[in-house]
Structure 1
Amino acid sequence: MLRRDSTRRLAVAGVVLLAASGCGYLSGEGGAGGGGDASGIDCSPYEQWEDIGGSVSLYSSIRDEEAERMDRSWADFEACTGIDIKHEGSGEFEAQLPIRLEGGNAPDLALIPQPGLLERVVSDGHAVPVSDGVKANVEEGWGEDWRSYATIDGELYGSPYGANMKSMVWYSPTYFSENGHEVPETWDDMVALSDEIAESGTKPWCVGFESGDGTGWPGTDWIENALLRTGGTETYNQWVSHEIPFDDPKVAEAFDLADGIVRNPDYVNGTFGDMESIAITSFQEAGLPLLDGGCAMYLMGSFYSAQFGEDVEVGEDGDVYGFVLPPLEAGAEVPVMGGGEFAVPFADRPEVAAVHEYLSTPEYANSRASEGAWVSANQNMDTSVIEDPASQFAAEVLLAEDTVFHFDASDSMPASVGTDAFWTGMIDWVTGSSTDEVLEAIESAWP
């Protein structure tokens, strides 16, 4: 857990952490890697993989500028080892990966953002255990919480890649300052602030659950964050592993907490319509009214800064900023919830093992982070390579010894539940279905 004093406010200037869960990435298609000329490059960091050569296919949901940054982050490795990393990014990654695997068209490596999907590809017999070198790197670089997400029946099948935080509330410092508002320290403070804003004639919250094939996932973030605050880590973990059913009273309590905001007609949905408009408002567009006073707050992951234009100043005195969703009580520990990807191998050729091993090193984390818009939870990365203070802070939070990272629950559950029934259930819930009906429907989807 995170101490309250270290997370009262989270600056997000320039942070475009890679989004996990069903949110996918924002637009376009990914690039492809390529070999390079090693002249003028210090190849000493890659000596153990020297002259391996060959080609390695890497499949992910990462596209556009993020894909270009990835390509640059391993360019020296390619040039020094002769390995050509062919990256393919897809906006339909979660749906297409199982199809490709079943059709005998498996990539050599995939960056899987969902532990539930990772478990599925392992149980279906497609993934292979990581090499000894990758295993050693993971044991040295990540805590038990991260390692556990890729460990199945005692065997490690993946290495953590990027990380992001999804317990953030975006707001406009200008709007807050002009109206005498302060960042809330408790949930009750946040509700009182919402009441004050609503009385002024502004809808305090913007909310958007639409995300193409992943529609509904932003709603799961509300429930996951609420449950961490009402039930704590133990209840959250029991819920994810189905030790308590989805329709348990403890889960209903979390829905009720979120209900007080998301389904409150006085609070939502800034400039977009009534409560039911949430189902058709895209998460990409939902937070933009913050810029003109259309709403005052928006719960969305740290990666959302990518949606603001270059002319938008992100900072404590800027156009937009962020604070961590507060706890129920003052002084309580603040839960950290988020996501990330895992590099999972589907082939055991030497060049595949070499690429995978490099991706699991702190040296690679440093290389990728130096390209911008990315943070790793690798405990041995050099955070000084991260240039903007907000990303530095995010890395500090993720790497703090007392941080217990709670992986996005919907991504950790079986796919039939987490990325199907749960997503669908959130749309039913926000368009008028009762909490009991939604919980029962999701519980019935457990395999």
Structure 2
Amino acid sequence: MRRSRILTAAATGAAVALVAAGCSSGSSDDNSTKAGSAPTLTGDCAQFQAYAGHSGSKVTMFGSILSPESDSLNKSWADFQKCTGITIQYTGSNTFESDLPVKVNGGNAPDLAIIPQPGLLQQMVHTGTVKAPPEQTVKNEDNWNAAWKGYGSVDGKFYAAPMSANMKSLVWYSPAYFKKMGYTVPTTWADLMTLSSKMASDMTGTAKPWCGGISSGTASGWPATDWLEQVVLGTYGGDVYDDWISHKIKFSDSQIQDAMKTVQNWMLNPDWVNGGYGDVKTIATTTFQNAGLPILKDKCGMLQQASFYEAQWPKGTKVGPDGDVNAFYLPAVNPDIKTPVEGGGEFVTAFSDKPAVQAVQNYLSSPEWADSRIKVAPGWVSANEKVDQSLYTDPIDKLSAKYLADPNATFRFDASDSMPAAVGSGTFWKGMVDWFGSGKSAADVAKEIDASWPS
């Protein structure tokens, strides 16, 4: 589930154009510089020399990132614009997924689009309008976990470089409550289940080891897809996970049914959920935004939710090892799976191969741009392995970056975002609501999802 869909920004994006002159020397007419006659950039602008030569060009960019997050996006490339003379005109929309195909099919595609779903990228590539990235962008891709290149590829051809990342495999908890009760952060799945059982025997009233909420308007069900996805990845590894996404392995097959049993023993366990809210069925009616709030009142021990959940804690909540809440890595179900990490993210996709557009692609795929974004956007994380880790000041960002940038991790992208839209954001989401909310069996849920798969 992509972050922009679930953040509670009320504002809609507006086109923002930050026009500034190039910061260079060696040319008397920087604003009309043509490709191939790049001026020599000096001083603080020297770092952008590789992108020079396109002063006066405008590059349009379209995405789902809204204000206030888009404000930091524009700040992140302000120096690039000033020094190169390239204007990046970004427009954000809260109906991006439906708007982009309309723009593309109507011959009004942006130069660049920030696409958060591999499934939508595939759809756009099949229109024949997406341009292959330039050589430097392809080279920059080596700085990411190899799995990311696959998610930016269609039919084996690389099209879109990753831009940002978010960490799904986290568990939120109260450090103070753990300390008071003598609990330690578990590092294996067995320890996590033992801790859950211990909490269940220690807690009274409506307090339970786990809390959760999967209500999210038209996107209801997505948090539960994350629970199943992480169990599949952490039990069977990347190959089975990939085959599940492509439907070589069906929801009704034994591996996925066994994973659903693991989830059932965990998040549908009446003795373990739903702390602070009620029985298992209340998970379906509790919003994902409110799901973790009982942790602050010691009514819930733990919440499995992504790094972006940090934005949902009430203002003034201190996050960190000595704070009101903190998070730890969700361990693998099967200890033989090496550091399973589920995440989401966004990909820069080009509908133009103009030199200025390619210059922007090269910059946005570089660790230098990622560093600049981190400096102005607390809560934003890159999985680029060359990023300066010391720039992260938020403890959750640091934890997320540690795992997302681990070249040895078994990283996989959110499965529901990678499946065909009719399934991933359709029957899969709906099936999870039915499973948690109405008590429909795992077998029946699987049967309905499999039957909906596009032929």
Query: TM-score, normalised on structure 2?
Result: 0.87
2:19 — aligned with what? 35
1:387 — aligned with what? 393
1:22–1:376 Cα change, 3 Å: closer
**For 1:401, what is the secondary structure of its paired residue?**
coil
User: Displacement of 1:390 after TM fit?
Assistant: 4.4
User: Displacement of 1:332 after TM fit?
Assistant: 6.2
Deviations 1:329-363 (A, max 9, x none): 56863311111111011222232222222111111
Rounded Cα–Cα distance in structure 1 between residues aligned with 2:322 and 2:336: 25
User: Displacement of 1:76 after TM fit?
Assistant: 0.9
1:239–1:332 Cα change, 3 Å: closer
Aligned pairs (5 A) from 1:155-170: 155-170=157-172
1:299–1:95 Cα change, 3 Å: farther
Deviations 1:3-55 (A, max 9, x none): xxxxxxxxxxxxxxxx7368443312335242235569722122233343232
1:6 — aligned with what? none
Aligned partner of 2:446 among 430, 439, 447: 439
Aligned partner of 1:237 among 238, 242, 248: 242
The question of 1:132 aligning with 2:135 is answered: yes
The number of residue pairs the alignment matches comes to 428
User: Displacement of 1:271 after TM fit?
Assistant: 2.6
Deviations 1:85-116 (A, max 9, x none): 22222233233333333344322211111111
1:257–1:33 Cα change, 3 Å: farther
Aligned pairs (5 A) from 1:352-367: 352-367=357-372
2:283 — aligned with what? 278
The question of 1:185 aligning with 2:187 is answered: yes
User: Displacement of 1:367 after TM fit?
Assistant: 0.8
Aligned pairs (5 A) from 1:95-174: 95-138=98-141, 140-174=142-176
Rounded Cα–Cα distance in structure 1 between residues aligned with 2:334 and 2:83: 54
8 Å Cα contact 1:50-1:80 kept in structure 2: no
Deviations 1:191-214 (A, max 9, x none): 332233333221221111122332
Rounded Cα–Cα distance in structure 2 between residues aligned with 1:232 and 1:445: 25
Aligned pairs (5 A) from 1:63-102: 63-102=66-105
Query: TM-score, normalised on structure 1?
Result: 0.89
1:14 — aligned with what? none
Q: Which 10-residue stretch deviates more, 287-296 or 372-381? A: 372-381
**For 2:218, what is the secondary structure of its paired residue?**
helix
Q: Which 10-residue stretch deviates more, 420-429 or 55-64? A: 55-64
1:307–1:333 Cα change, 3 Å: same
8 Å Cα contact 2:160-2:348 kept in structure 1: yes
Rounded Cα–Cα distance in structure 1 between residues aligned with 2:395 and 2:177: 23
Rounded Cα–Cα distance in structure 1 between residues aligned with 2:102 and 2:264: 37
For structure 2, the 5+ residue unaligned runs are: 25-42
Question: Which runs of at least 4 in structure 1 moved beyond 4 Å after TM superposition?
Answer: 21-24, 37-41, 329-332
1:264 — aligned with what? 269
Deviations 1:141-189 (A, max 9, x none): 2342111111223322100110111011101111122222222233333
The question of 1:26 aligning with 2:8 is answered: yes
Bigger Rg, structure 1 or 2:
2
8 Å Cα contact 1:21-1:217 kept in structure 2: no
Rounded Cα–Cα distance in structure 1 between residues aligned with 2:6 and 2:413: 15
The amino acid that maps onto 2:446 is L
User: Displacement of 1:250 after TM fit?
Assistant: 0.5
**For 1:284, what is the secondary structure of its paired residue?**
coil
8 Å Cα contact 2:65-2:92 kept in structure 1: yes
Aligned partner of 2:55 among 52, 59, 65: 52
Rounded Cα–Cα distance in structure 1 between residues aligned with 2:156 and 2:266: 41
8 Å Cα contact 2:237-2:337 kept in structure 1: no
8 Å Cα contact 1:22-1:411 kept in structure 2: no
For structure 1, the 5+ residue unaligned runs are: 1-18
8 Å Cα contact 1:21-1:411 kept in structure 2: no
Aligned partner of 1:350 among 332, 335, 355: 355
The amino acid that maps onto 1:428 is D
User: Displacement of 1:75 after TM fit?
Assistant: 0.5
8 Å Cα contact 1:53-1:351 kept in structure 2: no
1:400 — aligned with what? 406
1:289–1:93 Cα change, 3 Å: farther
Q: Percent identity?
A: 43
1:67–1:437 Cα change, 3 Å: same
User: Displacement of 1:73 after TM fit?
Assistant: 0.3
Aligned pairs (5 A) from 1:204-243: 204-243=209-248
8 Å Cα contact 1:21-1:410 kept in structure 2: no
1:302 — aligned with what? 307
**For 1:99, what is the secondary structure of its paired residue?**
helix
Q: Which 10-residue stretch deviates more, 409-418 or 393-402? A: 393-402
User: Displacement of 1:291 after TM fit?
Assistant: 1.0
Superposed CA RMSD in Å reads 2.3
Rounded Cα–Cα distance in structure 2 between residues aligned with 1:244 and 1:330: 22
The structure, 1 or 2, with the larger RCO (C-alpha pairs under 8 Å, 6+ apart) is: 1
1:269–1:91 Cα change, 3 Å: farther
8 Å Cα contact 1:173-1:320 kept in structure 2: yes
